[in-house]
RNA sequence: GUGGCCAUAGCUCAGUUGGUUAGAGCGCCGGAUUGUGGUUCCGGAGGUCGGGGGUUCAAGUCCCCUUGGUCACCCCA
């Protein structure tokens, strides 16, 4: 009888323990950070009515949706991000939630696009948003959260690039280019990648604006200098335009407060060229790049929007938030060789010296678990060498052994597989000593 | 969605202009006088050459389709 070929769909993946341990570790860190800022967890269904999702992220995201008719003949789609379902969620539950409302949401999203490195059809996003306030304080806090996340996760340097769409929009208003803003911003977004000449060409050919104004936009985006210098120059360029002036003021406050709060200046960069592809951003915009691997793209992006849920409710819901791209970050860390290598969460392996004494092993294991350690009793009756080999292969740092001698004195041999050191400890001191040992190299 | 490249053991790959039973390293399993791993030595398992069709006396090798991977564009986490 022929077997079914075991295979996964294009862009979908299995995760082995080694990878999964890293994923869960990252998620736990993100969770800790979000909670430490007071964000509360929510979840929403993977599947929504198509009309809920359609047209919310621009034409591109519509094309990328997994869409089908369910058994009840409903037109349904899988969520392609966590923001749009959140808009629906917020509109539906606003009266129960109250504002401002801060939530985090970690879950898989699906996009039917062509897979590439760091781009999958199913991937996990870790979103956080603050809704119900237009205050710049929320924008500032969002920056702080991104910084804290990356500081604890990235294992290396990173740059958070910040811009404010109001600044850009102010300039476009002044140049009377509001109509073409979507195309102009999209072209502008490519500046670091394809260079000034090509962006200029795209603006004149596709956005249909004249050379002079395209050049002005580019001059604007290409400004350089310290953040303070940039803000001053930009301020002058948008002077007299209310939107632009507001944007500059907000950006200035954001950088000032971040600096006062102790965020390292070299990790923050005012980048007038980033615009973000998604259409719904209206204020501060964030993108985060790893210093060691900028090519993989932004690993944490977001921004401010004026009205998250306008399609679902007449209640205005301004907000700001960002999304950590867990799978992309993981792909980056893997490429940089910064992933953990253990393939089990076990910290201590209790060996079985003699099958007749198996109760001792289970007893001590239970006792150690109570003190918070991850403890595993070897699952088979094999000789000690095999048991150590197993521990070594799985990356378990410590093994316990008790033979006749140890049993007679109520003690266990504690072997540190990382160093090879071994010495006996009475059961009462075991937990404390193990905690001490484990704290060393991790 | 458009275009390029790729696909041989769990992994990284070798396989001469198409020619007998398809190889290596690493990994995996077992063993080297049963109270101790990582090193070394010995042995073993594992591939209908991604799948399907075609050309040929003969296909891992050539052609078509398909599935998957990868890169660029597009877009994005």
Residue A215, pLDDT above cutoff 60:
yes
DSSP string, A289-328: EETT-GGG--SEEEEEES-TTTTT-SS---EEEEEEEHHH
Asked whether residue A75's C-beta has any atom of DNA/RNA strand B within 7 A, the reply is no
- Per-domain residue ranges of chain A: 17-335, 348-441
Nearest nucleotide, CA A404 to C1' = B35
ipTM for this model: 0.83
A348-441: CATH homologous superfamily?
Anticodon-binding domain (3.40.50.800)
Asked whether residue A260's C-beta has any atom of DNA/RNA strand B within 7 A, the reply is no
pLDDT, one tens digit per residue, over A79-133 is 988 988 999 999 999 889 988 999 999 999 999 888 887 788 999 999 999 999 9
Higher pLDDT, A177 or A108: A108
pLDDT, one tens digit per residue, over A277-330 is 556 788 999 999 888 887 777 889 899 988 888 888 888 889 999 999 888 888
CB A137 within 8 A of CB A93: no
CA of A116 to C1' of B66 (A): 20
CA–CA dist A365, A357 (Å, integer): 13
| Backbone angles phi and psi of A253, in degrees to 5 | -65, -40
**Residue from A136, A141, A155, A153 nearest A39 by CA:** A141
- Range in A44-48, A157-161, A291-295 the model is least confident about: A291-295
CA–CA dist A239, A171 (Å, integer): 9
Q: Who among residues 20-59 of A has its Cβ near strand B, under 7 Å?
A: 58
For domain A17-335, say whether CATH 3.30.930.10 is its number: yes
Higher pLDDT, A333 or A402: A402
Mean pLDDT, residues A8-28 taken together: 87
Helix axes A191-205, A181-188, angle to 10 degrees: 150
**Bases in strand B with any atom closer than 7 Å to a protein CB:** 1-3, 28-31, 34-38, 48, 50, 67-77
CA atoms in the 13 A half-sphere facing the CB of A429: 11
Asked whether residue A276's C-beta has any atom of DNA/RNA strand B within 7 A, the reply is yes
% of chain A beyond a pLDDT of 70 = 95
pLDDT score, position A436: 93
On average, the pLDDT of chain A sits at 87
Angle at alpha carbon of residue A81, lines to A78 and A83, rounded to 5°: 120
pLDDT, one tens digit per residue, over A348-385 is 999 999 989 999 999 999 999 999 999 999 988 888 99
Mean pLDDT, residues A247-270 taken together: 94
**pLDDT bucket at A442, cuts 50 / 70 / 90:** very low
**pLDDT bucket at A331, cuts 50 / 70 / 90:** confident
CA of A124 to C1' of B7 (A): 28
């Amino acid at each position: 009888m022929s077997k079914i070929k075991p295979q996964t769909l294009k862009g979908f993946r299995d995760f082995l323990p080694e990878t999964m341990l890293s994923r869960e570790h990252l998620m736990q860190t993100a969770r800790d950070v979000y909670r430490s800022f007071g964000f509360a967890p929510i979840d929403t269904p993977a599947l929504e009515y198509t009309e809920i999702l359609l047209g919310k992220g621009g034409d591109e995201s519509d094309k990328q949706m997994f869409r089908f008719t369910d058994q009840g003949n409903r037109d349904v789609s899988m969520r392609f991000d966590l923001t749009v379902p959140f808009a629906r969620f917020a509109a539906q539950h606003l009266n129960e939630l109250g504002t401002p409302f801060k939530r985090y949401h970690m879950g898989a999203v699906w996009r039917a696009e062509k897979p590439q490195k760091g781009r999958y059809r199913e991937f996990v996003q870790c979103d956080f948003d603050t809704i119900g306030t237009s205050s710049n304080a929320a924008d500032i806090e969002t920056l702080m959260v991104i910084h804290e996340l990356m500081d604890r996760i990235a294992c290396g340097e990173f740059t958070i690039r910040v811009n404010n769409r109001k600044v850009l929009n102010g300039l476009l208003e002044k140049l009377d280019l509001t109509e073409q803003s979507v195309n102009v911003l999209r072209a502008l977004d490519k500046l670091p990648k394809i260079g000034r000449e090509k962006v200029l060409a795209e603006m004149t050919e596709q956005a249909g604006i004249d050379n002079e104004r395209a050049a002005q936009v580019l001059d604007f985006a290409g400004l350089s200098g310290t953040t303070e210098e940039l803000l001053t120059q930009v301020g002058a360029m948008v002077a007299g335009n209310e939107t632009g002036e507001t944007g500059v003021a907000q950006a200035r406050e954001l950088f000032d407060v971040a600096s006062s709060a102790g965020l390292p200046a070299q990790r923050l960069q005012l980048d007038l060229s980033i615009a973000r592809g998604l259409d719904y951003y209206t204020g501060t915009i964030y993108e985060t790049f790893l210093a060691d691997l900028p090519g993989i793209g932004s690993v944490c992006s977001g921004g401010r929007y004026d009205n998250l849920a306008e399609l679902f409710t007449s209640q205005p819901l301004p907000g700001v938030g960002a999304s950590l791209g867990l799978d992309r970050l993981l792909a980056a860390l893997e490429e940089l060789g910064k992933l953990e290598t253990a393939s089990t969460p076990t910290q201590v392996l209790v060996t079985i010296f003699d099958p007749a004494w198996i109760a001792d092993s289970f007893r001590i294991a239970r006792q150690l678990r109570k003190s918070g350690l991850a403890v595993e009793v070897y699952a088979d009756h094999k000789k000690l060498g095999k048991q150590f080999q197993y521990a070594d292969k799985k990356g378990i740092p410590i093994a316990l052994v008790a033979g006749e001698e140890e049993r007679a004195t109520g003690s266990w041999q504690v072997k540190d597989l990382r160093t090879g050191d071994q010495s006996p400890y009475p059961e009462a001191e075991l937990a404390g000593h193990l905690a001490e040992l484990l704290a060393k190299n991790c």
